Amino acid sequence: MPTKDKYDILEPHNPIFRDADQVREIVSSFGSPTFVYSQKILEQQARLALAFPNAFGLTVRYAMKSNPNSNILRIFRNLGIHIDASSEFEVERAIIAGIPPEQIMLTAQLAPADIRRTLEGGVRYNACSIFQLRNYGSVFPGSEVSVRVNPGLGSGGTNRTNTGGPASSFGVWNDEIPEIIEAAKRYDLKINKIHTHIGSGSKPEIWKRAALMSLNIVERFLDAGYDIRTLNLGGGYKVGRMSIDKSTDLQECGKPIAEAFSRFAQRTGIELRLEIEPGTFLVANAGAVVANIEDLKRTPKYSFIITDTGATEVARPSLYGAQHPIVVYAFNDIGEVEDYIVSGKCCDSGEILTPAEGDPEALRTRRLAKVSRGDKLVVGGAGAYCAGMPLKNYNSYPEAAEVMIDLKGRPHLIRKRQTLSQIIQNEVSVIK
C-alpha cells in the first residue's frame, strides 16, 4: 500500500473559528467569499516576534504589504511594532491608519515621485539602489539614511519569493559598496543602518548564513568610517500553512544571531541594534477565507469542487503552486471522504486552489470530507499575501469583505464588500 502524504490527510478544523456553526454564521452575516482574521492569533504571533533573541536591542517592523488593512496595522502598533512600507502609497496608508511617521521605514523598488512629501514628518528611508541614494541625497543632503544591500545569497519558499542573490533585483549588489560610499560622500549622507533580505519562506539555516554575511557587509561600512548602529535582516521566516508543515521557531532561529551580534561587538566595539521585518509570520495563519461550495463536477479523472473564492482572493496557488489548507464543512457529514480538485469561480484554466506543490500548472487532489452544493469551504493560511495581493476584479468580481474576530470571539466587519459601481467608477466614457 503506498505511503500517504500530506494531501491524503484531512486538515483539522481551522483554529480561527469557534466551530462549524460560526463559519456558517459568518457567511450568513457577511456574505461569501469573506476574509476572516483572528485578533487573538495576530497578537500571539506579534508577541513571538517581539521576543526574538537579540544582544543589544530589537525593533520589529511589520511588512505591511502582506496585509495592509488598517485594523491589523493598529493591532501591531498597539503592541509596539513598527512598519516596513514598500511604496509611497503604503507610507500614506499607514499614516492614515494612525502610525507615527517616525515608526515607518520606506523600502521600495521605485523612488517616490515626491520624495520630500513622502518622507516629511520623519518617515525613515532605506535606499535600494545607487540612483535612489543619489536622489535622496540631492533632496536631503547631510541627513541619515539606510541602505539595502544584496548580500549575494537568496532563498525562498519558491523561486518567485527569492529576494536575494544574483537573480534578484532587490537592493544594491554587494560588489557595488564602493559606489554606495562614493554617492553618500557626495551628499554628506550619514549611513547608520544596513538592510538585507534574502526571501520569503527561506530555511532557517540559510537565513542564519545570510545574517553572518550581512555582518561582514556592516564591517565594510565601519571600515569606511560610517557609524552603523542598526542591522536590519528583513523577514522571510518560514510559516507552515499546512498543518503538518513546520514553522520557524524564532527562539531557535534567533539565538545564534544574537550570539553573532555579541561576537561582532567584542571584535569591533559596535553594539548593533537588530531589526526584523516579519510579514507572513505575523499574519498568514491568522487569516482565512470562508466560501460557498457552488457546484460539483466530474471528469473521468477528477472530481471538482467549484467554489465562489479563488485567485480573486487567494492568488498564491495560481502564481506559485503554493499550498493552503482547505477544510470543508458539510451540513450532512456522514464521515465519507473523497479526493477533489478545488476550482475557483473565474473562467480561467489556472484558477485552481489545489495545484501541485511548487507547480501552478499541475494538479494535485486533496482528500476532503464528501460535500454537497451549499456546504462551506475554508481556505486557511490566507492572512498574508491574499487580500493584499489578489487578481483584483478579474471577471469583474468585486473585492471580498474582511472580518475581524475580536478577543471575545465576536466578528466585526473591517472592510465592506466592493460594489460594481466602485469597480467601474474611474472609467471615463469617450465612445458613444
The size of the chain, in residues, is 432
Are residues 308 and 409 both part of a single domain? Answer: yes
What range does the domain containing 341 cover? 6-37+284-418
In a domain, 425, yes or no: no
Are residues 127 and 274 both part of a single domain? Answer: yes
- pTM assigned to the model: 0.94
pLDDT at 9 over 90: no
Paired residues of 343 in beta bridges = 306, 352
Q: How far apart are CA 15 and CA 21, in angstroms?
A: 13
Q: What is the mean pLDDT of residues 25-53?
A: 98
Take residue 57 and report the three cell numbers written for it: 536591542
**How many other β-carbons are positioned within 10 Å of the β-carbon of residue 374?**
10
Are residues 51 and 183 both part of a single domain? Answer: yes
Q: How far apart are CA 69 and CA 66, in angstroms?
A: 10
In a domain, 132, yes or no: yes
Q: What is the domain-level CATH number for residue 313?
A: 2.40.37.10
Residue 121 is predicted with a pLDDT of: 92
> CA triplet 407, 409, 415: central angle to 5 degrees?
85
**Exposure string over 233-250, b if 16+ CB within 10 A, otherwise e:** bbbbbbbbbbbeeebbeb
Q: How far apart are CA 41 and CA 403, in angstroms?
A: 14
Cα 426 to chain centroid distance, Å, stands at 28
Residue 213 is predicted with a pLDDT of: 87
Q: What is the domain-level CATH number for residue 123?
A: 3.20.20.10
Are residues 44 and 172 both part of a single domain? Answer: yes
In a domain, 50, yes or no: yes
Model confidence pLDDT, tens digit, residues 167-204: 556 789 988 999 999 999 999 999 999 999 765 445 66
Residue 360: which pLDDT band, with cuts at 50, 70 and 90? Answer: very high
Residue 332 is predicted with a pLDDT of: 86
Q: What is the mean pLDDT of residues 416-421?
A: 98
Residue 208: which pLDDT band, with cuts at 50, 70 and 90? Answer: confident
pLDDT at 3 over 70: no
Q: What is the mean pLDDT of residues 6-31?
A: 94
Residues 6+ apart with CB under 8 A from 252: 204
Residue 89: which pLDDT band, with cuts at 50, 70 and 90? Answer: very high
pLDDT at 26 over 80: yes
Model confidence pLDDT, tens digit, residues 311-324: 999 999 999 999 99
Are residues 254 and 359 both part of a single domain? Answer: no
Q: What is the mean pLDDT of residues 360-378?
A: 96
Q: What is the mean pLDDT of residues 80-92?
A: 98
Q: How far apart are CA 329 and CA 20, in angstroms?
A: 6
Residue 6 is predicted with a pLDDT of: 77
Which of these ranges, 141-155, 230-244, 355-369, has the smallest mean pLDDT?
Answer: 141-155
In a domain, 424, yes or no: no
Are residues 117 and 134 both part of a single domain? Answer: yes
User: Which of 245, 280, 315 is the last residue before a domain boundary?
Assistant: 280
pLDDT at 55 over 70: yes
In a domain, 326, yes or no: yes
Residues 6+ apart with CB under 8 A from 211: 233, 257, 260
Of 300 and 213, more confident: 300
Are residues 247 and 145 both part of a single domain? Answer: yes
Percent of the chain with pLDDT over 90: 82
Which of these ranges, 128-132, 188-192, 246-250, 300-304, has the smallest mean pLDDT?
Answer: 246-250
Are residues 26 and 70 both part of a single domain? Answer: no
Are residues 152 and 111 both part of a single domain? Answer: yes
**How many other β-carbons are positioned within 10 Å of the β-carbon of residue 428?**
4
Are residues 258 and 288 both part of a single domain? Answer: no
Percent of the chain with pLDDT over 70: 93
pLDDT at 158 over 60: no
Take residue 368 and report the three cell numbers written for it: 476532503
Of 398 and 161, more confident: 398
Closest CA to 193 of 133, 250, 238: 133
Are residues 219 and 330 both part of a single domain? Answer: no
pLDDT at 140 over 60: yes
In a domain, 427, yes or no: no
Residue 46 is predicted with a pLDDT of: 98
Q: For the residues of 330-355, what is the DSSP string, one character each?
A: -TT--S-EEEEEEE-SSS-TT-BSSE
How many domains are there within the chain? Answer: 2
User: Which of 258, 280, 302 is the last residue before a domain boundary?
Assistant: 280
Are residues 32 and 48 both part of a single domain? Answer: no
Q: How far apart are CA 376 and CA 290, in angstroms?
A: 7
In a domain, 407, yes or no: yes
Residue 203 is predicted with a pLDDT of: 62
CA separation, residue 104 to residues 96, 101, 120, 134, 263 (Å): 12, 5, 11, 21, 30
DSSP at 384:
T
User: Which of 245, 261, 280 is the last residue before a domain boundary?
Assistant: 280
Mean model confidence pLDDT for the chain: 92
Are 94 and 74 a contacting pair, CB within 8 Å?
no
Residue 4 is predicted with a pLDDT of: 61
In a domain, 164, yes or no: yes
